[in-house]
């Protein structure tokens, strides 16, 4: 009997040996650090299937299986065959439910010991959690955002009554999915009061802060091939990369471009896609802001050079989003060794991390002038740029140890499987 066959025969119908597990990690967004965890767990001897949405247009991690990857690691993009209708509520709901059904089918084929769900829309997450419950498969809810609060906040801007009704429905769904999960991994202590108000025991929740793959997002020269290709070689660059949605304020980017428009050596560069990125590009043309460049998402293999091309890296999150979302792009920024300017409330974990490590400056999310002044400060002070960038990378080197993080997840997985 071959070693692979012996290994395969060790797995029961919905489980593995006591030490080795069949783990399905479903990260809807396909972000870099979740797939790094999958690879690390596979290196530790677990059979890992990493599944993500191939239709969701967000910055992706290293989602291609390479020759150096262990045989126990698999990665698959799941597609509905059509773009996600993010701004059509009914069509989006149907697509999210359909995505959940596809994941449930994949669960039945792979037959994992445990499923970890991250970043899934509530319709999909609820469906996957219910499916695991029916199959007696432990389900770990990896809580990245409080989705129902975001839905309430966004829809209430259109209709107070409609926002409340729909928001309450999704709040019930989110409570249901969280209560039914075998365990919850939350990314910040900020989520604990909300969970306790939903009658979810603190003993069911573990805090594991997000991280970034420091071994793949490396400190690179600022004068690199990507920067030259984009015509930025002779520019000072303030760079934003990542999604732009309802919880972000693109007007800050426009205001920054307007503030520097007369300084021909400064360029605001935005690497993003979607409705708001297109609107930003159109508005820059309308206002004749030639110093604002909007580029599409770049391949992950170019990510280190993209970040290195920013003399300062910028991010923002709206005040009403501070309690339910943490901009994980900050963690990738830290790995790059570049200074960061973040417009966010101090209670947000990303702001806390920057204050903790000294990797940049935090300004109030609606203080446009302070945002611009912070960008100018780093652009004009090379020594301060280097200090903040170095401190940020030192924090990443200390805190983003995927080996320790994977060991923590192994313990939580064993706990969830034992309690099933």
**CATH fold of 225-399:** Rossmann fold (3.40.50)
Strand partners, 117: 26, 141
At 169 the pLDDT is 86
At 303 the pLDDT is 97
What CATH architecture is 3-211+401-418? 3-Layer(aba) Sandwich (3.40)
3-state secondary structure of 69: coil
At 289 the pLDDT is 97
At 323 the pLDDT is 63
At 412 the pLDDT is 97
At 5 the pLDDT is 37
pTM value? 0.89
What is the secondary structure of 232-267 as a DSSP string? -TTSEEEEEES---TTS-HHHHHHHHHHHTT-TTEE
Domain locations along the chain: 3-211+401-418, 225-399
Q: How far apart are CA 39 and CA 48, in angstroms?
A: 8
At 321 the pLDDT is 65
Query: Would you give the DSSP letter of residue 15?
Result: B
Same fold, 3-211+401-418 and 225-399: yes
At 265 the pLDDT is 96
* Residue pLDDT tens, the chain, 420 long: 334 433 433 343 344 444 799 999 999 999 999 999 999 999 999 999 999 999 998 889 999 999 999 999 999 999 999 888 877 778 989 999 999 999 999 999 999 999 999 999 999 999 999 999 999 999 999 999 887 887 777 677 777 777 778 888 889 999 999 999 999 999 988 899 999 999 999 999 999 999 999 999 999 999 999 999 999 999 999 999 998 987 788 999 999 999 999 999 999 999 999 999 999 999 999 999 999 999 999 999 999 999 999 999 999 988 776 666 778 899 999 999 999 999 999 988 899 999 999 999 999 999 999 999 999 999 999 999 999 999 999 999 999 999 999 999 999 999 999 876
Q: Which two tokens stand for residue 23?
A: 């783990």
Tallying the residues shown for the chain, one arrives at 420
Nearest partner of 333 among 221, 240, 231, 228, judged by Cα: 240
At 124 the pLDDT is 96
At 170 the pLDDT is 87
- Pairing between strand 266-271 and 292-295? parallel
- Beta carbons of 194 and 145 less than 8 angstroms apart: no
- CA separation, residue 329 to residues 26, 33, 53, 91, 270 (Å): 20, 11, 19, 28, 13
Phi and psi at 149, nearest 5°, equal -65, -40
At 6 the pLDDT is 38
Could you tell me which residues come within 8 angstroms of residue 152 by beta carbon, excluding any fewer than 6 positions away?
A: 163, 164, 166, 167, 168, 170, 171
């Amino acid at each position: 009997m071959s070693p692979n066959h012996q290994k395969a025969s060790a797995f029961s119908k919905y489980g593995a040996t006591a030490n080795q597990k069949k783990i399905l990690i479903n990260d809807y967004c396909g972000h870099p650090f979740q797939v790094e965890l999958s690879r690390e767990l596979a290196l530790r001897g677990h059979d890992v299937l990493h599944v993500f949405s191939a239709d969701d247009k967000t910055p992706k991690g290293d989602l291609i299986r390479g020759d150096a990857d262990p045989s126990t690691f698999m990665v698959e993009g799941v597609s509905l065959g059509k773009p996600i209708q993010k701004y059509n509520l009914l069509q989006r709901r149907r697509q999210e439910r359909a995505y959940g059904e596809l994941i449930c089918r994949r669960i039945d084929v792979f037959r994992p010991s445990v499923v970890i769900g991250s970043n899934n829309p509530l319709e999909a997450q609820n469906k996957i959690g219910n499916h695991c419950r029916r199959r007696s498969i432990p389900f770990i809810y990896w809580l990245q955002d409080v989705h129902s609060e975001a839905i309430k906040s966004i829809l209430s801007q259109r209709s107070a009554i409609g926002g409340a009704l729909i928001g309450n429905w999704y709040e019930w769904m989110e409570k249901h999915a969280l209560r039914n999960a075998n365990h919850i991994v939350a990314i910040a202590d900020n989520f604990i009061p909300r969970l306790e108000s939903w009658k979810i025991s603190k003993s069911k929740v573990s805090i594991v802060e997000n991280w970034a793959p420091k071994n793949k997002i490396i400190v690179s020269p600022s004068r690199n091939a990507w920067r030259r290709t984009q015509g930025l070689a002779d520019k000072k660059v303030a760079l934003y990369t990542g999604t732009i949605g309802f919880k972000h304020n693109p007007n800050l980017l426009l205001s920054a471009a307007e503030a520097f428009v007369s300084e021909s050596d400064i360029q605001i560069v935005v690497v993003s896609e979607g409705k708001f990125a297109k609107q930003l590009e159109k508005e820059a043309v309308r206002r004749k802001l030639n110093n604002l460049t909007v580029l599409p998402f770049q391949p992950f293999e170019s990510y280190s050079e993209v970040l290195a091309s920013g003399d300062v890296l910028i991010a923002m999150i709206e005040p009403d989003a501070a309690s339910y979302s943490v901009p994980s792009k900050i963690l990738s920024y830290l790995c790059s060794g570049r200074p960061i300017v973040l417009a966010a409330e101090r209670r947000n974990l990303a702001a806390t991390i920057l204050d903790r490590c000294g990797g940049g400056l935090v300004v109030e999310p609606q203080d446009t002038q302070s945002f611009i002044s912070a960008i100018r400060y780093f652009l004009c002070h090379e020594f301060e740029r280097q200090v903040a960038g170095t401190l940020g990378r030192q924090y990443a080197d200390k805190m983003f140890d995927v080996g320790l993080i994977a060991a923590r997840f192994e313990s939580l997985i064993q706990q969830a499987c034992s309690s099933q």
